[in-house]
Every structure is written in structure tokens, then in C-alpha cells.
């Protein structure tokens, strides 16, 4: 992943513009291939921008606000879902004749990004640790903090720079070969997989049929579905407020436990919906509660793990691994969901509930809390967890470990 995040995001909008053109003219050309290619380009753009943005925000924010700042992409992702649901209403662009404009509307955020990105500096950590440019780092800190008193933060960055001295950037496959990154990689894979296998996307897919079972008229179901996106947006904002108060682990554990609880009730409601007239309403309530629980915990917190668990040289590779894992699983879940629905019927969410329980247990036992800690403090703590037998020895001062004897 390129470290020049601003140039990466600017160039990334080329994919958005090309996709918007393909979408806009696909109906006139009578070509479904243009739609497929446009979707592919949007997917590439989304995968790159979500990783680069979260990494930049996490690296640039002060440690006291790092979690809240790094969670803003989750808020805007939920906002994008809501906006998409709104403009997709039949009264707006949901009409069959307006769908090319609906798809081509992805050009709007691309234009906004092109206009705003040149106003922002590069990441201070990248400028100092990767490029060794102290003056540019100071200038970036002044612009981001709005104050001249950045000596303490600069000293912290210098300490981190000394710890990374002489290292090169990691390659993605090298993360799996180093014992010193065992806890970090395991957490990234386990919790990244749980994010896509917890059933939230399937809840969105199942929502329309549940709302119809609850007696909502077919023409009004779209408004009920709009409520699910609004719930996730509300929950993401709440999580952003809570993350620096209660910590990452509490939000993850609480979110997955609540999802398991509401998913269980939802499964019972589906099984008994023909026996009691009020069961469809309970199932509908569980959908909103499930989405709220997902937004408060896993939706935002999981995205910042690669920022906080890996050091400056390994972070880009970690984001490549996380991005590839998440989008691959999202693709597989999308393909397999219809078969799961047909095979398991009302017990469709039982496998997802198991994933939620396992994710909560793993977080409770194996994920360290990173709230309010510097990247170097997190690295030292993880080093002790990866090498417990050496934790009683001299204090670790850098990523490299050299063992020797007097002989």
C-alpha cells in the first residue's frame, strides 16, 4: 500500500469518475458489461480509500483522540448507507428510469474529495519516520493541532523513529512469518473475519422479508429498511463518543455479546412467527437492535486495529492483509447467503451467532487494550505477550530482538 496517502486518494478518484461515466451511459448503450465494469472500479476505489483513510487518521490523531478520529470513516460509511437508501426511494432516484443517475451519483463524493484533499498535510509520522523530514513533520503537526506547542508529541515521534531505525517496510506475507507479530496478526485475522461473518450484512438482506411478515405494506417496506441504516449511523456516532471513555475491548465484547443475544431472540421469533401474531414485530425489533449493537462495537472498532496493533513499518502491509480478508469474506458471504437461507431456513443465523460468541471470547482473553497509549507503548506490550519468557529481562527498546550470551 502506498504511503503517500494524499496522492493515493487523489489518484483513486480516477476510478470513481470512470465508474460514474460507465453507469451514466450504460442504459443508453444497452450494455450490462458497462455496469459490471463500473461496479468493479467502484469496488477497487472503495477498498483502497477505506484502508488509506483509516490509516492516515489513526497516524495523524493525538493518542487521546486516536480512536474517536479513526472511527470517523465508520460514521461516514453508515452515512453513505443512509444517503443511498434515501436517494434510492421511489420518489427520488429509485424510479426505474432514473437508476443510471442513482449509480452515477458516486461522482459527487469523488468531486468533494478532489476539492478538499489538497488542503490537508501528509501524516506527521510518515514525514518523520519514513522520510526523515523534521521540518515538514513540524509543519504538519502545527496545521493539524492548530497550536505551536507540539514539542511533546514531536519527542514521542522521535522515540518511535529511533525504534524503527534501520527497518524496511514489511511485505504482507512476511507478517505471517515473524513470531514477534503473532498476536497482532492473529487478532487482525480473527476479528477481521468476525466483522464479515457476524451476520450484519445478512440482516440487511433479510430485513425486507421480515418487515413484510410484520404486516408492513409492500410499498412502505423501503421506509422501514431506511430505519436500519439510520440505526447504524446513530450507533456509529455513539461509538465514536464512547471509544475513548470505555476502551476498545469493552465496545467489541459488548457489541458481539449483544449481537449474539438479539440474534438468538431473532431466531426464536422466526421459528414462532406463525404461532403468535406478535412474533413478526419482535423479529423486526431484533433487526434494529442487532444493527445498533453492530454499529456500537465491531463496525468501527475493528477498522482501527491495524493502525494500533502494528508499528509504522508493518502498518501498510497489515492494512493490505485486512482489506483483502474483509472483502474476500464479504464476497463469499454474498455468494453463500442464498444457499444458507434455503438450507437452514429459520435457523439461518445460528452459525453467525457462533461467530459473535467466539469473537467476544477472543477479545476478552487475547486482545490488549490500546486506549490512551502511544504506538511505542502498544508495541512494547505486544512484545511481552509474544515473548512471555523474555518479559522479565531488560526492557525492550525496539522492534528487533537480539539474543546473546557472554560466551
pLDDT at 299: 86
pLDDT at 400: 47
Highest-scoring range by mean pLDDT, 76-85, 200-209, 210-219, 362-371: 362-371
Task: Give the mean model confidence (pLDDT) for residues 125-131.
Answer: 85
Its pTM surpasses 0.75:
yes
The percentage of residues in the chain with a pLDDT greater than 70, rounded to a whole number, is 92
pLDDT tens digits, residue range 297-337? 898 888 888 888 988 888 888 988 988 898 888 888 888 87
pLDDT at 73: 85
Task: Give the mean model confidence (pLDDT) for residues 130-153.
Answer: 84
pLDDT at 260: 92
Report the C-alpha gap between 46 and 84 in whole angstroms: 15
How many Cβ atoms are within 10 Å of 82's Cβ, its own excluded? 18
pLDDT band at 2 (very low <50, low <70, confident <90, very high): very low
pLDDT at 46: 83
pLDDT at 385: 86
The whole-chain average pLDDT of the chain stands at 83
Task: Give the mean model confidence (pLDDT) for residues 88-95.
Answer: 75
Question: Of residues 195 and 401, which shows the higher confidence score?
Answer: 195
pLDDT at 259: 92
Cβ-contact 87, 103 below 8 angstroms: no
pLDDT at 215: 66
pLDDT at 105: 84
Secondary structure of 27-81 as H, E, C letters: HHHCCHHHHHHHHHHHHHHHHHHHHHHHHHHHHHCCCCCHHHHHCHHHHHHHHHH
Residue 87 has, within 13 A of its CA and on its CB side, a CA count of 15
Lowest mean pLDDT among 91-95, 210-214, 290-294: 210-214
pLDDT tens digits, residue range 344-393? 877 888 888 999 999 999 999 999 998 888 888 888 888 888 887 765 54
The percentage of residues in the chain with a pLDDT greater than 90, rounded to a whole number, is 11
Query: Exposure pattern of 314-346 as b/e (b: 16+ CB <10 Å)?
Result: bbbbbbbbbbebbeebeeebeeebeebeeeeeb
Spatial CB neighbours of 381, under 8 Å, sequence gap ≥ 6: 368, 373
pLDDT at 398: 52
Q: Does 147 score more than 80 pLDDT? A: no
Task: Give the mean model confidence (pLDDT) for residues 206-214.
Answer: 71
pLDDT at 283: 81
Cβ-contact 196, 298 below 8 angstroms: no
Cβ-contact 258, 293 below 8 angstroms: yes
pLDDT tens digits, residue range 13-61? 888 888 888 888 888 888 788 888 988 888 888 888 888 888 888 888 8
Q: Does 406 score more than 80 pLDDT? A: no
pLDDT at 365: 92
Task: Give the mean model confidence (pLDDT) for residues 84-98.
Answer: 77
Q: Does 205 score more than 90 pLDDT? A: no
Report the C-alpha gap between 312 and 164 in whole angstroms: 8
How many Cβ atoms are within 10 Å of 168's Cβ, its own excluded? 7
Amino acid at each position: 500500500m502506498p504511503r503517500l496517502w494524499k496522492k493515493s486518494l487523489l489518484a483513486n478518484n480516477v476510478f470513481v469518475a470512470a465508474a460514474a461515466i460507465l453507469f451514466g451511459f450504460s442504459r443508453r448503450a444497452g450494455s450490462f458489461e458497462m455496469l459490471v465494469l463500473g461496479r468493479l472500479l467502484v469496488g477497487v476505489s472503495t477498498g483502497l480509500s477505506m484502508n488509506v483513510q483509516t490509516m492516515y487518521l489513526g497516524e495523524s490523531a493525538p493518542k487521546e483522540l486516536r480512536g474517536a478520529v479513526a472511527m470517523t470513516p465508520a460514521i461516514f460509511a453508515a452515512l453513505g448507507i443512509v444517503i443511498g437508501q434515501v436517494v434510492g426511494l421511489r420518489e427520488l432516484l429509485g424510479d426505474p428510469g432514473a437508476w443510471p443517475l442513482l449509480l452515477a451519483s458516486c461522482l459527487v463524493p469523488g468531486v468533494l474529495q478532489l476539492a478538499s484533499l489538497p488542503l490537508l498535510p501528509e501524516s506527521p509520522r510518515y514525514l518523520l519516520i519514513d522520510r526523515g523530514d523534521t521540518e515538514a513533520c513540524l509543519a504538519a503537526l502545527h496545521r493539524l493541532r492548530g497550536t505551536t506547542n507540539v514539542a511533546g508529541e514531536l519527542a514521542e515521534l522521535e522515540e518511535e523513529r529511533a525504534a524503527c531505525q534501520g527497518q524496511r517496510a514489511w511485505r504482507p506475507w512476511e507478517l505471517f512469518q515473524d513470531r514477534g507479530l503473532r498476536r497482532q496478526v492473529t487478532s487482525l485475522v480473527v476479528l477481521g473475519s468476525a466483522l464479515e461473518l457476524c451476520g450484519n450484512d445478512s440482516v440487511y438482506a433479510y430485513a425486507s422479508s421480515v418487515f413484510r411478515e410484520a404486516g408492513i405494506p409492500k410499498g412502505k417496506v423501503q421506509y422501514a429498511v431506511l430505519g436500519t441504516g439510520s440505526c447504524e449511523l446513530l450507533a456509529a456516532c455513539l461509538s465514536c463518543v464512547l471509544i475513548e471513555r470505555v476502551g476498545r475491548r469493552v465496545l467489541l465484547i459488548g457489541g458481539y455479546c449483544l449481537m449474539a443475544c438479539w440474534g438468538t431472540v431473532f431466531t426464536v421469533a422466526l421459528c414462532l412467527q406463525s404461532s403468535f401474531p406478535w412474533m413478526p414485530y419482535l423479529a423486526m425489533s431484533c433487526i434494529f437492535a442487532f444493527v445498533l449493537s453492530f454499529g456500537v462495537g465491531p463496525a468501527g472498532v475493528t477498522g482501527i486495529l491495524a493502525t494500533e496493533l502494528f508499528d509504522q513499518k508493518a502498518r501498510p502491509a497489515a492494512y493490505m492483509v485486512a482489506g483483502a480478508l474483509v472483502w474476500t469474506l464479504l464476497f463469499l458471504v454474498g455468494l453463500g447467503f442464498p444457499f444458507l437461507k434455503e438450507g437452514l431456513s429459520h435457523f439461518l443465523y445460528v452459525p453467525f451467532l457462533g461467530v459473535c460468541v467466539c469473537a467476544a471470547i477472543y477479545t476478552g482473553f487475547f486482545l490488549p487494550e490500546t486506549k490512551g497509549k502511544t504506538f511505542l507503548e502498544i508495541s512494547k506490550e505486544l512484545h511481552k505477550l509474544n515473548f512471555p519468557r523474555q518479559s522479565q529481562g531488560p526492557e525492550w527498546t525496539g522492534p528487533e530482538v537480539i539474543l546473546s550470551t557472554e560466551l
